[in-house]
Amino acid sequence: MSIFADKNFLLNSSSAIELYENYAAKLPIIDYHCHLEAREIYEDISFSNLTELWLKYDHYKWRLMRAAGVDEEYITGNASDKDKFLKWCAVCGKAIGNPLYHWSNLELNRYFGIDLPINAENAVEIWYKSLDILKNGDFTSRSLIKKSNVKLICTTNDPIEDLAYHSALAADSNFDVKVLPTFRPDKVFDIASDSFIDYLFDLGNVSGVAIRDFDSLLRAVISRIDFFGANGCVLADHGMTEIVFDSSYNNVDADKALKRRLNNFHVSDEELCAFKSRLMICLCNEYKARGWSVQLHFSCLRDNNTVLYNRIGINAGCDSIAAGFNFLTPLSHMLDYLNTEKILPRFIIYSLNPNDNALIDTLIGSFQENISGNIVTNSPWQFSDMDSDTLSAAEITDEAEVTKLPRLIHGAAWWFNDSFDGIRSNLKTVAEQGYLPGSLGMLTDSRSFLSYTRHEYFRRILCDLIGDFVEKGMFPDDKKILQSIIEDICYNNAAALFNIR
């Protein structure tokens, strides 16, 4: 029987252990999607206790506590930090099979050196031990980032944000971790929202553009894209429940829809589609011109619980997987149109619905061509008409080593899918239907400075999966190739995307 969370945690073969220890374990971290606040990093905030570190913003944990019957007073209410922590430990200690149990125990061990299993019996001892460590140790936001061997963080930012703390961090010679903004224009697209007109007023103020029509809206948004780019941004992020797209609409159609909304009229489904389609096309044109990549998140149904939404607001832990709509057809049409018009930026695509994994991989496989003139430069058949002596084996290998990242990438197992089975399923589907070595590795998608153990969790699962392929004779035990695959997925691909040395 294996020992819980020992040094071989989740590594079920000698090959997996070797791959993890030799190649994955010590690689730096690039966290290209998270919800940390640049202000908290710049101010190098400290933490009084584990409740502040673990529970303050973590709606993952809130959901689990509610599911276990904990009163809201001990979750988001006015109970003391100690009492909230004790309730969390009691719940976590029985959360068998939940990734939160794994993550929390890893965080406690990796950052605090406490190897007591989290449960009700150990809760008080863990509370006081961690208090002493926090009081006497170096546990500020920056120190936790540095201890985690993080090289880059991409925060998530609305177009109207001033990015003052990103600018300050970039100028701070005492902190060498890059903290870059990500352009998240969801509110610009949300034309049906009650707050849409007020939001456009704010957008107009920060951009210096009076938004009266679609053309002025584009000028306002593009000015913010330029501003984000000047602050190091190379990544956009679009989140949506479902994808709507129809290339038959033009800017005139989008303009009519926007003007109706600005005059407080309801927009029809057709008008909504016209507005969102044209806006997406125009923004992708800007992204492509700047060499930005685009994260596309969908299939999330947000804020299901009105009572908790009214009490807490967004990110209350009341979101769910969305299903029952056809994302594949509009996404296919969108990618095809952008590709045909030569304005297809690199896309990193995530669905919250795990049933969509194979659909995503087979779709993006349709748009991975690397065209130079009329020749598909990465085709294995391109050498068929050449003299056999034209390229040596070494030259072919060198050419393969400088292959660019895929144009379209299936993102890491996201949110409800970043469990053991969710991560493994995501990786297996990418391997079976696409090109696993082209993956971008893990992200935290978190507001916690302790969440970097999720990268360790991912890397252990990855090494166990690949080790399993080797053990079963499904892939050769070629150390050079295996090292390249592991290091590319865990670090090199993301480092190349963000030009990290």
Rounded distance, CA 81 to CA 293, Å?
40
Give residue 401's pLDDT.
45
* 139 alpha carbon, distance to own chain's centre: 25
Residue 284 sits at φ, ψ, to 5 deg, of -65, -35
Strand blocks (E) in 70-209: 150-154, 178-180
Q: What is the CA radius of gyration of the chain?
A: 24
Rounded distance, CA 423 to CA 464, Å?
12
Residue 340 sits at φ, ψ, to 5 deg, of -60, -40
Residue 371 sits at φ, ψ, to 5 deg, of -100, 130
Beta-bridged to residue 295, according to DSSP, are 237, 348
pTM for this structure? 0.93
Q: Which residues have a Cβ under 8 Å from the Cβ of 351 and sit 6 or more positions away? A: 298, 299, 327, 357, 359, 360, 414
Rounded distance, CA 95 to CA 22, Å?
31
Place of tokens 């703390």: 165
CA distances from residue 39 to 49, 121, 141, 498 in whole angstroms, order as listed:
20, 37, 10, 22
As given in the structure block, the two tokens for residue 36 are 């940390």
Q: How many CA atoms lie within 13 A of 137 on its CB side?
A: 19
Rounded distance, CA 116 to CA 105, Å?
8
Which one, of 271, 289, 171, 174, lies nearest residue 234 by Cα?
A: 289
DSSP symbols for 457-494: HHHHHHHHHHHHHHHTTSS---HHHHHHHHHIIIIIHH
| 191 and 184 Cβ atoms separated by less than 8 Å | no
Give residue 136's pLDDT.
84
Rounded distance, CA 333 to CA 341, Å?
12
As given in the structure block, the two tokens for residue 2 are 């294996």
DSSP symbols for 388-453: TTSS-HHHHHHHHHTPPPPSEEEPPP-GGG-SHHHHHHHHHHHHHHS-GGG--------S-TTTTH
- Please classify residue 367 by burial: count the beta carbons closer than 10 Å to its beta carbon, then call 0-12 exposed, 13-18 middle and 19+ buried: middle
Give residue 324's pLDDT.
86
| 228 and 183 Cβ atoms separated by less than 8 Å | yes
Which one, of 292, 159, 288, lies nearest residue 223 by Cα?
A: 159
| 338 and 344 Cβ atoms separated by less than 8 Å | yes
CA distances from residue 413 to 85, 288, 416, 430, 484 in whole angstroms, order as listed:
28, 25, 8, 11, 22
Mean pLDDT by runs of 10 across the 501 residues of the chain is: 86 98 98 97 96 93 98 97 98 97 97 96 98 91 97 98 98 97 98 97 98 98 98 97 96 98 96 98 98 97 95 94 93 98 98 97 95 44 40 45 78 96 98 97 96 98 98 98 98 95 76
Residue 459 sits at φ, ψ, to 5 deg, of -65, -35
